[in-house]
Structure 1
Amino acid sequence: MANYQDIDISEYSENPLIDALPKFLNKKEVLSAILKPPAYFTEEREHDELKRDIYTERLDSCIIPNNKFYKAYKKIYKLLLKSYQYRNPLKVTTKQLLNNTASNGIAAPYPEILKTIIAASSFITGLSGMGKSYMIDNILSLLFEQIINHENYKGNNLNIKQLVYVKFNIPSDASRRTLCLNFFKSVDNILGTKYESKNKNRNIPISDLELNMKKVCLLHHIGIVIIDELQNLSLAKSGGAQQIMAFFESLSNEIKVSLLFIGTYDTYDIYSRSFKTARRMAKEGTIDLEQPKEDDPVWNQLVDTLWKFQWVPSPLPMTADIKKVLYKRTQGITFCTVTLLKFANVQAIEEDEDSITEETINQAYKEEFKLFMPALDALREKNYAAYDDLMPLAMRRMLNRKKQHVLSISQDAKNEPEENWDSDDITTSSPSRTSYCSANSEGEKNGTIDKIQRKKRLKESAQEVYNRLESSGFFITNLDSI
């Protein structure tokens, strides 16, 4: 049942959907509420091998929050406020909005006052394994009620069920139809409704499915729609990603529901194409869970905290050398750090060792991290060719600028009249021509290109030019300077 408390901010006052939200917490309260260390008793160190092995699994479910958790909490709270600000169930405009959406604009006009209001959105990104979804899931489950029942608010009979947040994934095939069904399934799992089965008929146009999503958001007073695995949009068929992002913009701007996107760095290729797309995704800003450096205080705090939980007879104190080995093996990735410490415990227990040492950690890495080794090696060597989702945003921005520069040069070269490209002119041409022709490849000698090769290259598309220059090593750079 709703427990109302005035938020004491004028623009959000007298709104039951806002007054029913939990009170805003300060940083200390948030971190304290989320903190969940593993259960641990010193006498467990003396238990038999099997029990101690099982105890190590507690590390997987522990939560060691940091400042990014509080930043994410504040964003979520503000997204809720902005979402409900213009959907107060006591206001006539909210009823007009519901009637307008339910009838697809036939039964009632769109409320004039809402036409200039831009809905809120935010974006959580970072490396795979840094805990983006885990952070958001724990903030939501520990600090917010998902369902709030309303009966009476200051003498007004409401009888409504408020669904504070809904979270679902972009499907692996990036299908618009499957995306809609994923949303309906999430709502069904929470409320016990049957929206998914009602909308599963493939004869239903996608436009109707998207309209039904808007209706469900309004009917159940959804505060935030959280879209995870956003990087799957990169797998969409030609134009598919833009269509989905356009729908999200329509969803948020028409019914004023806030959106929270979660995805790896692969999403950069989606939102970097236009400022409009970036604005759709992160009007309220971005949180980047980037790879920490070895001296990062957050990573060091995590390691120091987890090191206290060892199920061996004589735990050693943390040392700089142990941290160095841990960082080398995990590259600071949260998932890898927690997992390696767990396996180091298991390794020591199985080998009947009294303590976890650097050698224990290295051995656990060799035996248990075989699937992760190639990716961690690539991250350690800054070789991102095989693992695109590991490439940092700074590197992506730099490569994107270089790519656009080369594509621009190659397009200019294609547009120039062929007769201007004399062989004598190749070596004395402008810098742009020199850049276009200077990559090492078959057929190039001493900066000149024979006429046949030159004609062939003038027929290349801009993308083909970029691919050729990239394969020749044109883009190799000192990654440490980024």
Structure 2
Amino acid sequence: MYLKIDCSHNGSLKEICLNFFRALDRALGSNYERRYGLKRHGIETMLALMSQIANAHALGLLVIDEIQHLSRSRSVGSQEMLNFFVTMVNIIGVPVMLIGTPKAREIFEADLRSARRGAGFGAIFWDPIQQTQRGKPNQEWIAFTDNLWQLQLLQRKDALLSDEVRDVWYELSQGVMDIVVKLFVLAQLRALALGNERITAGLLRQVYQDELKPVHPMLEALRSGIPERIARYSDLVVPEIDKRLIQLQLDIAAIQEQTPEEKALQELDTEDQRHLYLMLKEDYDSSLLIPTIKKAFSQNPTMTRQKVTASCFAVVDGRRNGSVRTRKALQE
């Protein structure tokens, strides 16, 4: 069994212990927080209690997320934080996995001693994927994008990811995994909304300009390659884009729920065109009637509605047995 807890926003070490009790209470329906957390125990005592509880429930892994919040703590330094985690591992006796954004590096690399203690935990840094390695295409980037490309839901998708689209994809995302995936999903939603159901380099650029503005400064810093600029953005948080994804999904769902008549009316530009469509829709095939109406109005912009209507009647009736077939004709 594993247990996941979060660091508090203020970086309190005691709060980490309290979160341990709270997480267990949520998972098991116990009352450890009331029994141990509300008393004025010191951190050493709370760690000992955590050890007893971990052994009692055969805890196999403790995951502590959002440890970058510890860098905000003014009451303790990086050395004391590391000592806390080392003591936690030794006392609780189970593996501890620490997860955080790049800002958490400040805790482990503040000085040589801290770096050496931090190295004892082991670390995996998830940096952006590089487009090239030693002047050659990075196979990791190629494999990742090829596999992601196959997960499209678009009906007219290209079977193979072109080099042009792949290069633009990297240029816009800079290999940041979260942005790579969000750009891919947003592009699909845009393609569905437009009705063309195909991702192109131009569509990626348009989606980047329209939907990813909150992260433009961060990505520009990455493109610059200047460490000082990159350091300003230690964490890419994009809640606005997440909200936009949800809204686009709702919009797509609404479009898919529309009746054929609602979709047809949306394709027509003016009220006169829509009135004419409603007059003729029962007698003529909608897929052929709509382009006929649009063409008649575009070719005769100064003509009155009555004359355009007569013109449309003449066109569709004159071609009844041709390419424009009516429903009644099909029934005959």
The alignment's TM-score, normalised by the length of structure 1, stands at 0.44
The code of the aligned residue for 1:305 comes to: N
Q: Which residue in 2 is equivalent to 1:384?
A: 230
| Count of residue pairs brought into register by the alignment | 227
Q: Which residue in 2 is equivalent to 1:245?
A: 82
- CA offset digits 1:22-72 (Å, max 9, x no partner): xxxxxxxxxxxxxxxxxxxxxxxxxxxxxxxxxxxxxxxxxxxxxxxxxxx
Q: 1:249 to 1:312 in 2, by over 3 A?
A: closer
Cα drift, residue 343 of structure 1: 0.7
Q: Which residue in 1 is equivalent to 2:25?
A: 188
The code of the aligned residue for 1:210 comes to: L
Select 2:122's aligned residue among 271, 282, 285.
285
Select 2:12's aligned residue among 169, 175, 185.
175
Secondary structure of 2:179's partner?
Answer: helix
Report 1:53-132 matches (<5 A). none
Higher normalized helix content (fraction of residues): 2
Structure of greater Rg: 2
- CA offset digits 1:363-416 (Å, max 9, x no partner): 1111211222221222222322421347xxxxxxxxxxxxxxxxxxxxxxxxxx
Q: 1:182 to 1:241 in 2, by over 3 A?
A: farther
Q: Which residue in 2 is equivalent to 1:45?
A: none
Report 1:16-415 matches (<5 A). 146=1, 165-201=2-38, 203-274=40-111, 277-283=114-120, 285-295=122-132, 296-316=138-158, 317-382=160-225, 383-389=229-235
Q: 1:237 to 1:379 in 2, by over 3 A?
A: same
Cα drift, residue 357 of structure 1: 0.8
* Whole-angstrom CA distance in 2 between matches of 1:284 and 1:202: 31
Cα drift, residue 204 of structure 1: 4.1
The code of the aligned residue for 2:222 comes to: L
Q: Which residue in 1 is equivalent to 2:291?
A: none
* Whole-angstrom CA distance in 2 between matches of 1:218 and 1:243: 26
* Whole-angstrom CA distance in 1 between matches of 2:117 and 2:35: 30
User: Runs of 5+ in structure 1 lacking a partner?
Assistant: 1-145, 147-164, 391-482
* Whole-angstrom CA distance in 2 between matches of 1:221 and 1:274: 36
Between 222-231 and 277-286, the greater mean CA deviation after superposition: 277-286
Identical-residue share of aligned pairs (%): 30
* Whole-angstrom CA distance in 1 between matches of 2:107 and 2:121: 18
Secondary structure of 2:4's partner?
Answer: strand
Q: 1:199 to 1:218 in 2, by over 3 A?
A: same
The code of the aligned residue for 1:265 comes to: P
Cα drift, residue 323 of structure 1: 0.6
Q: 1:240 to 1:184 in 2, by over 3 A?
A: farther
Is this contact kept in 2: 1:261–1:281, CA < 8 A?
Answer: no
User: Runs of 5+ in structure 2 lacking a partner?
Assistant: 133-137, 237-332
Structure 1 outlier segments of 4+, above 6 Å: none
RMSD: 2.3
* Whole-angstrom CA distance in 1 between matches of 2:14 and 2:182: 36
Is this contact kept in 2: 1:229–1:264, CA < 8 A?
Answer: yes
